[in-house]
Structure formats: structure tokens, C-alpha cells
């Protein structure tokens, strides 16, 4: 029997559509199984990346230094104002009504200025913290994007402990690999 006769026999058989359908079904199940068992669906623990990233530590140390200096300025101004208030309390009995009123207004104005300065410094500290955090997050996002492209991943999920990934096999966790590469890249830039 030659190949042509064999094909005519199969195609002429009344079970052929059923066999082809079963074959297509098995192939699709195999493909689905293969895609589920592949490591195309992976994730990283975003909190671990942020905490373990060397730039986070460096930026936080610089930020803490700046914030401490700014808070020190505020503490210095408050200390001076408190000394003036103590002196006012001591001198109060010996001052005239006009001097009392003038001194009270002066102390109240200084207190308002200190409060305004303190609010401005707090706002500046918060903005600086946001800026540093965003820089770190941008670095991480850029690196993860490149890592995904270079390793052929279609999706890399970010888990942040808020329940967006309830379970994943350990093989799907790329956090440590990405953290090593991210820190190595940062160390090269230093």
C-alpha cells in the first residue's frame, strides 16, 4: 500500500473527524499544560527589592542626614524662642505696659514664623522623601523591565504583601536574582 492509498483510506473512514478532533484536543491540552508549567508567569517581591537595593540604603542615609540638619535648625530656633520667653517671664514685672505689649507681639510673631518655617521644612522633607523613593522605584522598574526582556518573560508580577499574589511556586519568585543584578548594576554606576 502506498502513501496515497493510505491517506485515502483514513480520509474515507467515517471515524476520521472524530479522530482528528481528539488529536486537536490533545494537542491543545498539551499546549495549555506546557504554558502553565513554563516559567513565563513570575513575580518579584517589591518590598524586598526596595529594602535590599543598595541605592535605597545610600539614598536613605543621605536623606536622614539632610532631615536631621533641617530639624536641627528648627530645634535651634525653638530653643532661642523659648529662651526669649523665659527672659520675658523674668523681666515681665519690670516692664511698662507698652513694653509688655510690644514684647508679647514680638514673641507671638516669632512663634508664628517658627511654626511657618517648621511646616515648610516638614513639607520639604516629605517632598524629598517622595523624590528619593520615586527614584529608587524607577530604577527597580527599569531594571525589571530589561530583565524581563532579556530573559524572555511576558509578564513579571510585583507582589507587595497586599494580597495581589496569594500563592506562587518558589520557582516563580525572581526577587533574589533581580536584586543581585540590580545591586551589581548600581555598584557599577557608583
Q: Residue 179 above 90 pLDDT?
A: yes
Q: CB–CB of 159/43 below 8 Å?
A: yes
Give the model's confidence band at 189: pLDDT under 50 very low, under 70 low, under 90 confident, else very high. Answer: confident
Distance CA 46, CA 111 (A): 43
Distance CA 115, CA 144 (A): 43
**Which of 41, 44, 42, 40 minimizes the C-alpha distance to 137?**
44
Distance CA 156, CA 189 (A): 25
Q: Residue 168's pLDDT is what?
A: 79
Q: At what angle do helices 97-151 and 175-189 cross, to 10 degrees?
A: 110
User: Lowest-pLDDT range, 61-65, 87-91, 94-98, 158-162?
Assistant: 158-162
Distance CA 165, CA 158 (A): 8
Stated pTM of the model: 0.65
Q: Residue 173's pLDDT is what?
A: 87
How much is the average pLDDT of 5-17? Answer: 55
DSSP-derived secondary structure letter, 42:
E
**Which of 164, 151, 184, 176 minimizes the C-alpha distance to 48?**
176
User: Lowest-pLDDT range, 7-16, 69-78, 166-175?
Assistant: 7-16
The string of DSSP codes covering 119-154 is HHHHHHHHHHHHHHHHHHHHHHHHHHHHHHHHHT-S
Q: Residue 9 above 90 pLDDT?
A: no
Give the model's confidence band at 37: pLDDT under 50 very low, under 70 low, under 90 confident, else very high. Answer: very low
Q: Residue 11 above 70 pLDDT?
A: no
**pLDDT by residue (tens digit) across 106-163?**
999 999 999 999 999 999 999 999 999 999 999 999 999 999 999 988 889 988 766 6
Give the model's confidence band at 164: pLDDT under 50 very low, under 70 low, under 90 confident, else very high. Answer: confident
Q: Residue 83's pLDDT is what?
A: 94
**Which of 31, 40, 15, 28 minimizes the C-alpha distance to 157?**
40
Amino acid at each position: 500500500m502506498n502513501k496515497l492509498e493510505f491517506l485515502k483510506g483514513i480520509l474515507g473512514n467515517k471515524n476520521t473527524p472524530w479522530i482528528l478532533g481528539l488529536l486537536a484536543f490533545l494537542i491543545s491540552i498539551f499546549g495549555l499544560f506546557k504554558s502553565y508549567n513554563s516559567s513565563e508567569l513570575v513575580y518579584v517581591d517589591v518590598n524586598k527589592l526596595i529594602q535590599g537595593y543598595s541605592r535605597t540604603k545610600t539614598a536613605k542615609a543621605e536623606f536622614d542626614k539632610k532631615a536631621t540638619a533641617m530639624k536641627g535648625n528648627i530645634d535651634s530656633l525653638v530653643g532661642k524662642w523659648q529662651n526669649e520667653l523665659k527672659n520675658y517671664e523674668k523681666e515681665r514685672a519690670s516692664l511698662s505696659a507698652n513694653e509688655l505689649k510690644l514684647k508679647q507681639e514680638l514673641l507671638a510673631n516669632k512663634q508664628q514664623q517658627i511654626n511657618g518655617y517648621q511646616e515648610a521644612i516638614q513639607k520639604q522633607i516629605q517632598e524629598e522623601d517622595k523624590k528619593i523613593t520615586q527614584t529608587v522605584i524607577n530604577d527597580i522598574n527599569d531594571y525589571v523591565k530589561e530583565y524581563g526582556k532579556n530573559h524572555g518573560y511576558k509578564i513579571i508580577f510585583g507582589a507587595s504583601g497586599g494580597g495581589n499574589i496569594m500563592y506562587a511556586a518558589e520557582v516563580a519568585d525572581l526577587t533574589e536574582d533581580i536584586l543581585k543584578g540590580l545591586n551589581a548594576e548600581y555598584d557599577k554606576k557608583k
